[in-house]
Amino acid sequence: MTPVPPAASPTDAPIPLVDLKAAYHRQKDEIDAAIRAVVENTRFIQGLEVVEHERAFAAFTGTRYCLGTGSGTASIHLILAALGIGPGDEVAVPAHTFIASAEPISWRGARPRFVDVDPVTGCIDPDALKASIDGVRAVIGVHIHGRPFDLDAIGAVTAAAGVPLIEDAAQAHGADYVRADGTVVRVGTYGLAAAFSYYPGKNLGAFGDAGSITTNDEALYEKMRRLRDHGSVRKYDHEVVGFADRLDTLQAAVLNVKLPRLAEGNERRRALAALFTEKLTGVGDLWIPPETPNRRSVYHHYVIRTKHRDALHAYLNERGIGATIHYPRPVHLQPAYAFLGHRRGEFPNAEAWADEVLSLPIYPELTEAQLDRIVAEVKAFFAGR
């Protein structure tokens, strides 16, 4: 297990859900120099740093191609656009996820077909997908909270149906999956294409909105490359109607500094998660999603579940601990999708996750003393009930 350093801050100081300031100061000089270089060369759009990031992240994931985009949501949209998804189509997507997994389907004029999730992992459920896949044009699987979904099982369903599998890897930079034959693959390499987000709080976070797409499909890559930049591969020569969904050069520069430390940060998150699990097991009615040996999470979130979620959430926040809820309302019950006519009870596993899940602070800079304080407050809450 990766050792966790001793506390470097007062024990009564607030503990945020994510400490972006600490992350910045860990690499401040390198980040400042990278930003300054972009400002001085003034290549703010499609600068060399973007190309460098695309090459480096493709190598990190083990894919042939990486395409920098304006956000993780834009990445999903570009994939769907390149696949020709449009009005009259349906795309399957899990009901337990952030709404950004479904929004691009609607932008294309298509309809999301929500699918229930596995009660243990919170990831899209293979059996539920198999029961509802007829007629869909594509499937979006979400590596929720940093845990890979069951790629072999979901891949078998999509292959049998003859539809493309899209990985929403916005929360899973560097997560690994062990296939049935023992081969280890990194998320972002299995489906036809994968969407990544570099939102500031992600395991690999930029200083604003940013994202990327990975794929091994050259034809799809070329379509997305044109669509990303106003339908053009040469200035003022527009082959199709496209979008302005490019990765900003300043954001690419920041990402290029952070990427070499990503694997180290992911290992720290795993070490912290193991400590949380060891110290919280058996506390109150807490249920901690178990490790799945063939799916190595990168713990973008460390989630627990309890019937007393709302009370525990309030208790921790009052004591300066930035626990939060991912996500308090499943997507099929969001007002934005009320027109689809879904009712509570249709996707019971997703609804149970929404009712009970709570995310505790986890990030590479979290100290063992801070972790122990979080654990002590959780124990104190249940001791007082």
357-363-367-368 Cα dihedral, nearest 10 degrees: 40
CATH number, span 263-383 = 3.90.1150.10
What helix, strand, coil percent values describe the chain, rounded to 5?
A: 40, 15, 40
Residues 6+ apart with CB under 8 A from 264: 364
pLDDT at residue 292 in the model: 87
Tokens matching residue 233: 């591969």
**Which tokens is 303 given?**
């989630």
Q: What is the pLDDT of residues 91-104, one digit of tens each?
A: 999 999 999 999 99
Q: What is the largest CA-CA distance in the chain?
A: 68
Please check whether residue 251 is in contact with residue 102, taking contact to mean a CB–CB distance below 8 angstroms: no
> Distance of CA 199 to CAs 110, 133, 205, 235, Å?
26, 31, 5, 29
Give the pLDDT band (50/70/90) at residue 25.
Answer: very high
User: Which residue shows structure tokens 């069951």?
Assistant: 150
Report the alpha-carbon distance of residue 85 to residue 174 in Å, rounded.
28
Which residue in 244, 266, 226, 229 sits closest to 61, CA to CA? Answer: 266
Amino acid at 360: L
User: Tens digits of per-residue pLDDT, 142-153?
Assistant: 999 999 999 999
Q: So what CATH class is 28-260? A: alpha beta
Domain residue spans in the chain?
A: 28-260, 263-383
Determine the distance from the C-alpha atom of residue 311 to the mean position of all C-alpha atoms in its chain, rounded to a whole number.
27
For the chain, give the number of residues: 385
Q: How many CB atoms lie within 10 A of CB 236?
A: 6
Torsion of CA 324, 327, 328, 332, to 10 degrees: 170
Q: What percent of the chain has pLDDT over 90?
A: 94
The whole-number pLDDT of residue 307 equals 98
* H or E element, residue 265: helix 262-280
Mean of the per-residue pLDDT values for the chain? Answer: 96
Average pLDDT value for residue range 12-34? 97
Calpha distance 287→268 (Å, rounded): 22
**pLDDT tens profile 173-214:** 999 999 988 999 999 999 999 999 999 999 999 999 999 999
Instruction: State pLDDT tens for residues 316-374.
Output: 999 999 999 999 999 999 999 999 999 999 999 999 999 999 999 999 999 999 999 99
Tell me if 28-260 shares its fold with 263-383. no
List, in order, residues 6 or more apart from 116 with CB less than 8 Å away. Answer: 94, 95, 125, 128, 347, 348, 349, 350
